[in-house]
Amino acid sequence: MKPKKRRKRKIKRIRLLILVIFMVIFALVMGKMKAKKKKDFAPEEQDFAQNYQEDISTENLVIEEEEKPEIHDWRLTLVNHENVLPDDFEISLTSIDKIRKFDSRAIGELKQMMNQMKKDGITNVWVQSAYRSVEKQEDVFERRIKDYMAQGKTHEEAEMLVLQTINKPGTSEHNLGLAVDFNYVDYDFDKTAGFKWLKENAGNYGFVLRYAKEKEKITKVDYEPWHWRYVGTEHAKQMNELGMCLEEYVEYLKKQS
């Protein structure tokens, strides 16, 4: 090979080597500049960036809470140990008889159901308790506590016993005006023909057994075969088909919306 060609190739190799060295040095310099820039980032700016991210998370959390679906059907109003009637709650009532009253919007179905029971030969079922004012509920609640205390229970023990069958004032479905207690407060009611009829037919008139035995852990109320709640025909039938109590059904509907 001629000396001139060798010299040209050698010059090309040197230039390539210089280019590689330059690129390595450039990469190292840029890396140090970025590290320094990150290190020199003002603390207040870092705090702002962190707080900004936290604000975004908090904002999203608030939006999720605001957008949580609610059930606005008055027939499904949930009243229990966690859901208290508002102080400004108002209700329109219609008389069942001289003493008892029920929500005016649902009393038609209640009367139809009672009439059909009689036509079917069930003549020994009557409404023992229906609407009860918060003041009346308070009186009943306190009177039962005194009864237990007279038996030697402490006030706390007495209240716990009363809560097994009577809700605190403002948390009872009787305050809502959509619940009825049939006959006496007697667990043997579920052995009667009237109870059997209600289990088979009450859903057709919008009523459900509110406190079922298998739902005590959810409702926080002992089994009450005498206590029935109006929820509307379509809801009653669906609740029975799904095997849900009102607490479960309300949550179910929220997830569907």
Q: Which residues are catalytic?
A: 224
Rounded distance, CA 154 to CA 209, Å?
32
Give me 210's structure tokens: 């509110």
Closest CA to 219 of 84, 79, 85: 79
Inter-residue contact 155 to 78 (CB < 8 Å): no
Give me 202's structure tokens: 């009450």
Long-range contacts of 133-138 (CB under 8 A, 24+ apart): 133/175, 134/85, 134/169, 134/170, 134/175, 135/169, 137/166, 137/167, 137/168, 137/169, 137/170, 137/172, 137/174, 137/175, 138/169
Work out the number of other CB atoms within 10 angstroms of the CB of residue 153.
16
H-only helix segments in 153-245: 155-162, 173-176, 193-201, 216-219, 233-242
